[in-house]
Amino acid sequence: MTGVPTRSVPRSGARLALEPGLAVAVVGLAVLSMLTGPAGFGIPPAAAGLILVEIRLPRTLLALLIGAALGASGAALQGYLRNPLAEPGVIGISGGAGLGAVLAIHTGAASAFALALPLGGLLGAFAATTLVLLLAGSGGRSLTLVLAGVALGSVSTALISAVLSLSHNPFAAVEMVFWLLGSLADRSLTHVWLSAPFLLAGMALLLRLGAALDALTLGEEAAENLGVDLARVRRDLVAGAALAVGAATAVAGTIGFVGLVVPHILRPLVGHAPGRLVRASLLGGAVLVLAADIALRLMTPAGELRLGVLTALMGTPLFIWLVVRTRRDMAP
């Protein structure tokens, strides 16, 4: 039965154009982000250079990297758990990062030196990851991972609330709440250098999982028969998501909905293949966060609205639209 080797299904043009299209959008939005801000043209060149390098460049780079990290993590987790509702929160990492950062503020470490906040977040993320992996056990099954992650996420949320309610200093409490809401304002290049290695390493781990995630479409047994090492996939997934989401949360606070919505929107456009979806969602996440951060600066130049609030506000209608679409598709 060896006929002429032709593709029985032509790859559709839309599928091929998706990733280059998203890449172009990322570049375009990054340029736009460098051009957006309260300072207009006509200021002295020295000041303009300073604003571009010290204020807008870190903001643009962080929006791009963090968006990409959140998008890729969401897609990889959804693919691994084979559940379209999975997001970085379900394995407890963002909760751990949030707790670490809140503790850094509460103990006063954050006011002692500026990097204590992101470092606290990173530490919290790694502590949470270690605990989740220990709790989930050594087998390669995905259910225990979710159970352990949800348990740890709940504990983190409870402890964050405890720290908030125990905080005697109202300014510290306000700082914690604002930080938890997520923002890219007033970040420096130091934040970029601190988080970029973790973000990039995490994304590299997640991108390598593509083929294993595709194989898991057929269930864990069939994937194993196709050569997938389930235990290693789980380890790489958790490590990759922890690096990416932990570092993102550590420098920018909680930016919700990106990891949930971006893979959802892009999934049909990549033919539902979970491996391709990780790549596409990496680009799509960067597009969404860059766009949201630009919109934020245009709407409230003085910076009252927080990025995490805006992504949630943007994400919710998209999600409702997805519900409606799914309902229509499922109609008899």
Partner 1 sequence: MRLATEHIRVLRQRTRVVLDAVSCQLRSGTLTGIVGPNGAGKSTLLQALAGLLPVADGRVVLDGTPIAAIDRLNLARAIAYLPQERRVHWPLPVRDIVALGRLPHRWTPAGESLADLTAIDAALATMDLVGLADRPADQLSGGELGRALIGRALAQKAPIILADEPAAGLDPAHALDLFGVLRRLASDGHTIAVALHDLSMAARFCHEVVVLGAGRVAAAGPASQVLTRAHLEPVFGVQFVMGRIEGLPVVLPTATRP
As given in the structure block, the two tokens for residue 100 are: 């670490």
Per-residue mark of binding to partner 1, 208-247 (x: CB under 8 A)? --xx--xxxxxx-xx-xxxxxx------------------
Nearest distance from residue 278's CB to partner 1, in Å?
12
Q: Choose between 63 and 145: whose C-beta lies nearer to partner 1.
A: 145
Q: Which of 318, 198, 210 is nearest to 257 (CA)?
A: 318
Backbone angles phi and psi of 229, in degrees to 5? -90, 100
HSE toward the beta carbon, residue 50, CA cutoff 13 A: 6
Candidates 5, 13, 42, 170; binder of partner 1 (CB under 8 A) is: 5
Nearest distance from residue 11's CB to partner 1, in Å?
10
Compute the residue count for the chain. Answer: 332
Nearest distance from residue 140's CB to partner 1, in Å?
11
Question: What part of residues 266-305 is at the interface with partner 1 (CB under 8 A)?
Answer: 267, 271-274
> Counting beta carbons within 10 angstroms of the beta carbon of residue 200, is it exposed (0 to 12), middle (13 to 18) or buried (19 or more)?
middle
Per-residue mark of binding to partner 1, 8-27 (x: CB under 8 A)? xx------------------
Q: Choose between 82 and 235: whose C-beta lies nearer to partner 1.
A: 82
- 2 touching partner 1, by CB under 8 A: yes
The residue to which tokens 């919109």 are assigned: 295
Report the Cα 229 to chain-centroid distance in Å.
Answer: 25
Backbone angles phi and psi of 185, in degrees to 5? -70, 150
Q: Which stretch in 6-14, 116-124, 155-163, 295-303 sits in contact with partner 1 by CB under 8 A?
A: 6-14
Nearest distance from residue 281's CB to partner 1, in Å?
14
Q: Choose between 59 and 276: whose C-beta lies nearer to partner 1.
A: 276
Nearest distance from residue 271's CB to partner 1, in Å?
7
Q: Choose between 59 and 279: whose C-beta lies nearer to partner 1.
A: 279
Residues 6+ apart with CB under 8 A from 269: 14, 15, 18, 280
Nearest distance from residue 205's CB to partner 1, in Å?
15
Q: Judged by CB under 8 A, how many residues of this single chain contact partner 1?
A: 30
- 54 touching partner 1, by CB under 8 A: no
Q: Choose between 38 and 268: whose C-beta lies nearer to partner 1.
A: 268
Question: What part of residues 80-119 is at the interface with partner 1 (CB under 8 A)?
Answer: 82
Q: Choose between 101 and 209: whose C-beta lies nearer to partner 1.
A: 209
Residues 6+ apart with CB under 8 A from 145: 81, 91, 132, 136, 234, 238
H or E stretch covering 202: helix 189-207
Nearest distance from residue 268's CB to partner 1, in Å?
9
Q: Choose between 118 and 275: whose C-beta lies nearer to partner 1.
A: 275
Per DSSP, the residues of 70-100 read: HHHHHHHHHHHHT-TT--GGGGTHHHHHHHH
- DSSP, res 269: G
Nearest distance from residue 166's CB to partner 1, in Å?
44
Evaluate whether 34 touches 26 at the Cβ level (below 8 Å).
no
Q: Which of 82, 121, 115 is nearest to 103 (CA)?
A: 121
- Kindly list the distances between the CA atom of residue 321 and the CA atoms of 79, 161, 268, 286, 307, in Å, as whole numbers in the listed order: 22, 32, 14, 21, 21
Residues 6+ apart with CB under 8 A from 188: 54, 58
Q: Which stretch in 23-31, 42-50, 151-159, 264-272 sits in contact with partner 1 by CB under 8 A?
A: 264-272
Nearest distance from residue 1's CB to partner 1, in Å?
4
Question: Which positions lie near partner 1, rule CB under 8 A?
Answer: 1-3, 5-9, 82, 210-211, 214-219, 221-222, 224-229, 267, 271-274
